[in-house]
Structure 1
Amino acid sequence: MHFTTEDLLNVTFASEPLPLVELAMALVAWQRRDEQAVFGRWRGRVGRELPDRALPLLDLLRPDGDNPPFVEPYARTLEEGLAAVRDAAPGLTAGQLARAAARAPGPDSWLRALWCRDRGAWDQLDGAIRSAYEVLVAPHRARIRQSFRADVAWRTRLLATHGIKACLASTHPAAGWSGAAFEVDRPPHYEVRLGGRGLMLMPSPFWTGRPLVAEHPEGPYVLLHPALTPLPLTSPAPVGSPLDALLGRTRAAVLQLLVERRTTSELARDLDISLPSVSEHTRTLRAAGLITTERDGKAVLHSVTGLGVDLLHSGA
C-alpha cells in the first residue's frame, strides 16, 4: 500500500462498528480454521445456532474475506445496509458473478438468479442476512462495540506516541514498512496506491486474517484488521479496568506477569490456562508490539517491551 504525504496526514479511525461488515466477518470467521484456541468453542456454538435460512450467504462470503463489496456495505444500521444491498443490484457485473461463482462451495444457480435480479433470489438474500444477523451480531452488539472501541483507543494512543508506522505495523505479525509503502507479507499479493484519498482503520473482533484493503465509495480506503481482543475473549459483563477492556482479563494478566520474563509453561501455570491458550495470547501481544519472545534452548521466554510498559503505566 503506497502512501503519499497527503495520505500519511489523512489516517483516521472508523467511528463505530458497521452491522453488515461485522456480519460478513462473523460468517467468514465461522468458516475459518485458524485461531482455534480462541474461536473453536464459538464456532461450535455458531454451527448449532445458525439457521439453514442463512446458509446461502456462504456462497458469497468465503473464508479468505475477499468478498463481493455489495453484501457488506458501509451502513450504520441493519435496515440501511439491507437497502444498500438491494440498491446494488443494477451495478452487478458478469465478471463479479464469474468470480463469486468460482469461489462458491455449491451450485451457482442461486447466484445466477441473484445477478439476473430475480425477485425471489433477492428476497432470499434479504432473509438470509436478517436471520444470520439475529444470531451472530444482534445478541453481541455491546461486546462488539467494546472490542472495537478499545482497539481504536489503543491505536489512537499508539499513533500519538509512536507514529503511523508503529500503528499500522501492529495490525498483523507480517506487517511492516518499506519506505512509504506499507506491506503485509501474506498472499494474495497486490498493490494499492492511495493517491491522496487517505486511509481509515476499521478493527473487527471477528476477523483473524491479514489486513484487508477495500475502497470506500464515498471516502478514503479502508483497512479492515483484527481487533486486539477478538469477540470470544470479550467479557459480557462490565470489565474491571481499562486494560481489561482493551485486552480482555486474561490477556491483560499475561501482559502484567511479563514485567518479569516468563516461559509459556510458567504463564500457563500461574494463570491456570492451557498452553495453546497462552500461545494465542502471546502471539497477539507480540503482534501488537507489547511483548517479545525468544528461545533459550527448549524454553520459550516472553517479556514485556517498552511499549507494553507504557500501556501498563497508562492503565490503557
Structure 2
Amino acid sequence: MLRIHFTPEDFARIRMASSPDPLWEITCSLHRLQTARGRWAYADWYRDTRDTLAGTSLGEAVRRLLVPVLPRARYFPDFLTPHESVDGLDRGLAAIVDTPPTRVAHEVGMLARVSGAPAWAPRLVERETREELVKVLRAYHDAVIAPHQDRLRASIGGERALGAREALDTGIEGLLGGLSPAMRWRPPVLQVDYVEDRDLYLGGRGLRLVPSYFCWQAPIALADDTLQPVLVYPLRAARLPAPAFPSDASLAALLGRTRAAALRALALGATTSELARFLGISPATATHHTTVLRDAGLIMSQRSNNTVLHTLTPLGAAMLRRTLMSPSAGPVARVEL
C-alpha cells in the first residue's frame, strides 16, 4: 500500500492535469501492450496498434528499446516521465535528453536491481543514446497515441469536469476520496492500493493528479520521493469508443431547437437534473435527449454517486462551435415541449 501524507498546506497545492500527459500516456500504453489484463477496455486501440507496429522497424524498436526500460513492473526510471511533459511532448522529450548523467546512472542501476535492465541500458548515460531513445518515443507517440488524441482529450476533460464538481460539492477531501476504488481517504492520509508498501510525505509540496486514459486499475507514483509528487490514476468513466460520425438517423434526431439548446447547455458540463431545469423539461425528457446526444457521439456521460455528469466530446464541441459561428444561430431559449 502507498500512503500519501498530507499537511494543511498540501490541500492548497493539489492540481489536476488539464490535458493528457504525453509521456505518462506513452508509458501506460506500453504497459497495456505487455499484458492481456484489461485489454478488452482498449480493444480497438490495441487492434490498431498491433496492425501499425507489426513487421515494422518501429515495432522492433519498441520491443527492443522502449519495453525493456518502461516495463510493467515494480520499478521503471522516473527520468522517462519528467514533470516538463505537462507542457507537451517536445518539452518532455527535451527534459529526458537533458537529464544529468549521474541521475540516469542511478535510476538505470535501480532498474537493473529491481526489474531487470537490458545490456545496453547503461549507455543511457550518454546523451547520444538518450537522443536515440527519444526519437523512438516520439515515433511511437506519433504512430499509436496521436491518432487517438481527441479521444484522450475528451475522456480526460470529462474526468476534470467530474473532479471539479466533486471538489465544489464535497471539498478537496471528497475529491480525494472519490478518485478511484483503489484509493481511500483516511485523514490526513490517502491510502492507495500499490505494488509495494511505502509512505510518501508531501510536506507542503502538494500533489499533481494525472488522470490517464491508458492507466488501468492500479495508480502509479514516482519512485523518488524527493521529486515533485505525482499520482497517475485510471479514469473513473468508461473510455470513449473510437470516434465516428453520427449516422444519418442520429443527425436527423439532432435537428431542432431542443437538442441544440441541450448541446449548448452542456458546454461546461451539467447533470441530467440541471439540464432539465435549464431547459424547463422533465428529467425523463432530459434523459432521452442526452441518450440521443451520447449515441450520436456528441457527449459523454459519467456517473458520480447518484448523479450523471454530461460533457461534450470533441465532435460535440466542433458542432457547437459551428452552430455558434452560424449567422442564423440565435440565443439559447427555454424550450417547451
**TM-score above 0.5:** yes
Q: Percent identity?
A: 26
Asked whether the equivalents of residues 108 and 122 of structure 2 are also in contact (C-alpha less than 8 Å), the reply is: yes
Structure 2: gaps (5+ residues): 54-58, 255-262, 270-282, 285-301, 313-337
Q: Which residue of 2 is the match for residue 108 of structure 1?
A: 118
SS of residue matched to 1:210: coil
CA distance in 1, matches of 2:62, 2:208: 30
Pairing partner for 2:81 from 72, 78, 87: 72
Q: Which residue of 1 is the match for residue 108 of structure 2?
A: 97
Letter in 2 for 1:81: G
User: What does 1:54-69 align with in structure 2 at a 5 Å threshold?
Assistant: 54-55=62-63, 56-64=65-73, 66-69=75-78
SS of residue matched to 1:176: strand
- Residue by residue over 1:47-97, the C-alpha shift from the partner in whole angstroms, topping out at 9 and shown as x without a partner, is 332322223110111124742121122322322222111101423354422
Q: Which residue of 2 is the match for residue 32 of structure 1?
A: 35
1:6 aligns with 2:9: yes
CA distance in 2, matches of 1:315, 1:114: 43
Distance apart, 1:235 and its partner CA = 3.6
Distance apart, 1:193 and its partner CA = 0.7
* Deviation larger for 143-152 or 124-133: 124-133
Scaled by the length of structure 1, what TM-score is found? 0.69
Q: Which residue of 1 is the match for residue 49 of structure 2?
A: 46
Distance apart, 1:236 and its partner CA = 5.0
Q: Which residue of 1 is the match for residue 213 of structure 2?
A: 205
Q: Which runs of 4+ in 1 moved over 4 A?
A: 102-105, 215-220, 236-243
SS of residue matched to 1:191: strand
CA distance in 1, matches of 2:74, 2:157: 22
- Residue by residue over 1:6-27, the C-alpha shift from the partner in whole angstroms, topping out at 9 and shown as x without a partner, is 1123222222222222212211
Asked whether the equivalents of residues 24 and 61 of structure 1 are also in contact (C-alpha less than 8 Å), the reply is: yes
Asked whether the equivalents of residues 78 and 107 of structure 2 are also in contact (C-alpha less than 8 Å), the reply is: no
User: What does 1:125-140 align with in structure 2 at a 5 Å threshold?
Assistant: 125-140=133-148
Structure 1: gaps (5+ residues): 247-255, 258-284, 291-306
Q: Which residue of 2 is the match for residue 178 of structure 1?
A: 186
SS of residue matched to 1:17: coil
Letter in 2 for 1:37: W
Larger Rg: 2
Distance apart, 1:179 and its partner CA = 2.6
Aligned length: 256
CA distance in 2, matches of 1:235, 1:164: 33
Q: Which residue of 1 is the match for residue 293 of structure 2?
A: none
CA distance in 2, matches of 1:109, 1:118: 17
CA distance in 1, matches of 2:132, 2:236: 35
CA distance in 1, matches of 2:74, 2:137: 17
* Deviation larger for 122-131 or 55-64: 122-131
- Structure 1 residues 127 and 231, CA gap change in structure 2 (3 angstroms): farther
Letter in 2 for 1:57: L
Letter in 2 for 1:212: I
User: What does 1:201-240 align with in structure 2 at a 5 Å threshold?
Assistant: 201-214=209-222, 221-229=229-237, 231=239, 233=241, 235=243
Asked whether the equivalents of residues 11 and 200 of structure 1 are also in contact (C-alpha less than 8 Å), the reply is: yes
Pairing partner for 1:166 from 174, 179, 189: 174
* Deviation larger for 23-32 or 192-201: 23-32
Asked whether the equivalents of residues 222 and 231 of structure 2 are also in contact (C-alpha less than 8 Å), the reply is: yes
Superposed CA RMSD in Å reads 3.5
Q: Which residue of 1 is the match for residue 93 of structure 2?
A: 82
Letter in 1 for 2:91: E
* Deviation larger for 230-239 or 159-168: 230-239
Distance apart, 1:110 and its partner CA = 1.5
